[in-house]
Amino acid sequence: MILAAATNESLAQMSNTLVYSSMAVYTLAFLAHIAEWVLGSRSKVGRTAAALTQNAGARQTAAAAPAVQVRKGGTTAVLDRPQVVTRSAAGTRDVPDGPGAAGGTVKGDLYGRIAVSLTALAFLIEAAGVVSRALSVQRAPWGNMYEFSITFSTVATGAYLGFLAARKNVRWIGLPLVTTVLLDLGVATTWLYTDSDQLVPALHSYWLWIHVSTAIFCGAVFYLGAVATLLYLFRDAYENKLATGGNPGSFARSVLERLPAAASLDKFAYRVNAAIFPLWTFTIIAGAIWAGDAWGRYWGWDAKEVWSFITWVGYAAYLHARATAGWKGRKAAYIALIAFGCFLFNYYGVNIFVSSKHSYAGV
């Protein structure tokens, strides 16, 4: 018993060391991402912005009234099908994606690749810290807010790296992601840290692995969708200003012009939110089944249950708005951000400020 206790204590200390080490590597990745943005070519960004300004009106006109061309082959006239521009939201302009944070330069791209490599290294170190924490308590490593936080940031980073491995153009998420991860780990290690301990008997169930793991994964993907949604709002306002003859400031032109087009950001946010919504539905159902096993009732309008349902309603309203005329684009984006805000309150607000049956582990 003494040897086992000493081993568990060593694993817990190892977990703490790995988490702090990952924070150091994340900091280096943050600086590399900053260098990528700072050293990215301003000249190419300027040329892209100028082309956007000159062609925005022409593109909108062409999209509104596609030309019909007639080809004649012998004595037969063939009517070509008109080219139709597909948009993700009503009023979206047909503009190209920006060159990315690197601005199309070799030096900027080099720092971007270094940033991604450091992010991947930090992810592996943090994941090892999460596994060590699990081994130290011999259970799922998400029994309190500290464990949930370090696991959440690990999964969010893993999802981002997964998109990159699938060759998706998402490197623009790198800087917001690493910044958020550092804040999350800073709060976790400073205010939310809890010593390794066993859970109350009600939580000793295989549903802990199912329900909480899916909740963490859903939250991580919802976070990526929220970042894309927020950037969509900024980029859309920037494109609107250019299309109406406005003159954005140099900072806005340098940063926002390098992002993907508003239509691309909007499409990415919609796809990830729509893809993960069924899993969030399953998370709530799994939680209800677990509650029936642990407390003898499937639903009791506990604060955590209520806000999980409110979050579900928020994302359901967003998906419905996307399919409703007049609510696509910015209006739907606002709903998505409100829904993600409900998810955050469900985690931080309910756990810290509201007393409920889910307050079994303190923080």
Segment 92-109, tens digit of pLDDT: 567 889 999 998 899 999
The answer for residues whose C-beta is within 8 angstroms of residue 111's C-beta and 6 or more apart is 32, 33, 35, 36, 39, 102
Measured distance CA(328)–CA(87) in Å, rounded: 11
Q: What is the pLDDT of residue 311?
A: 97
Q: What is the pLDDT of residue 268?
A: 96
CA atoms within 13 A on the CB side of 213: 9
Residue 1 pLDDT class (50, 70, 90 cuts) = low
Q: Are 99 and 106 in contact (CB under 8 A)?
A: no
Share of the chain above pLDDT 90, in %: 56
Amino acid at 75: T
Q: What is the DSSP letter of 72?
A: E
Place of tokens 């409703």: 324
**Least confident window among 52-56, 245-249, 267-271:** 52-56
In total, the chain counts a number of residues equal to: 363
pLDDT at position 221 over 90? yes
Of 291, 301, 311, the residue nearest 356 (C-alpha): 301
pLDDT at position 238 over 80? yes
> Please, which residues bridge with residue 260 across strands?
none
Mean pLDDT score, 262-266: 95
Q: What is the DSSP annotation of 19-40? A: HHHHHHHHHHHHHHHHHHHHHS
Q: Which tokens sit at 255?
A: 């940063």
Residue 3 pLDDT class (50, 70, 90 cuts) = low
Measured distance CA(7)–CA(168) in Å, rounded: 42
- Whole-angstrom CA distances from 273 to 80, 268, 270 are 37, 9, 5
Residue 86 pLDDT class (50, 70, 90 cuts) = very low
Exposed, middle or buried by CB within 10 Å (0-12, 13-18, 19+), for 63? Answer: middle
Measured distance CA(292)–CA(140) in Å, rounded: 20
Mean pLDDT score, 148-175: 95
pLDDT at position 224 over 50? yes
Q: What is the pLDDT of residue 55?
A: 52
Q: Are 122 and 150 in contact (CB under 8 A)?
A: no
Q: What is the pLDDT of residue 4?
A: 54
Segment 296-325, tens digit of pLDDT: 888 888 888 999 999 999 999 999 999 887
78 vs 352 pLDDT, higher one:
352
Q: Are 217 and 279 in contact (CB under 8 A)?
A: yes
Q: Are 312 and 298 in contact (CB under 8 A)?
A: no
Q: Which tokens sit at 85?
A: 């521009």
**Least confident window among 73-82, 141-150, 171-180, 193-202:** 73-82
Mean pLDDT score, 282-286: 95
Q: What is the pLDDT of residue 51?
A: 56
Segment 134-148, tens digit of pLDDT: 998 888 888 888 999
Exposed, middle or buried by CB within 10 Å (0-12, 13-18, 19+), for 59? Answer: middle
**Least confident window among 41-45, 304-308, 353-357:** 41-45
Q: What is the pLDDT of residue 300?
A: 85
Q: Are 151 and 141 in contact (CB under 8 A)?
A: yes
Place of tokens 């969010």: 156
Residue 5 pLDDT class (50, 70, 90 cuts) = low
Measured distance CA(118)–CA(22) in Å, rounded: 10
Q: What is the pLDDT of residue 22?
A: 97
pLDDT at position 154 over 60? yes
Mean pLDDT score, 324-349: 91
| H/E segment holding residue 77 | strand 76-79
| 301 φ/ψ sector (left φ>0, alpha ψ -120 to 50, else beta) | left
Measured distance CA(143)–CA(209) in Å, rounded: 10
pLDDT at position 88 over 60? no
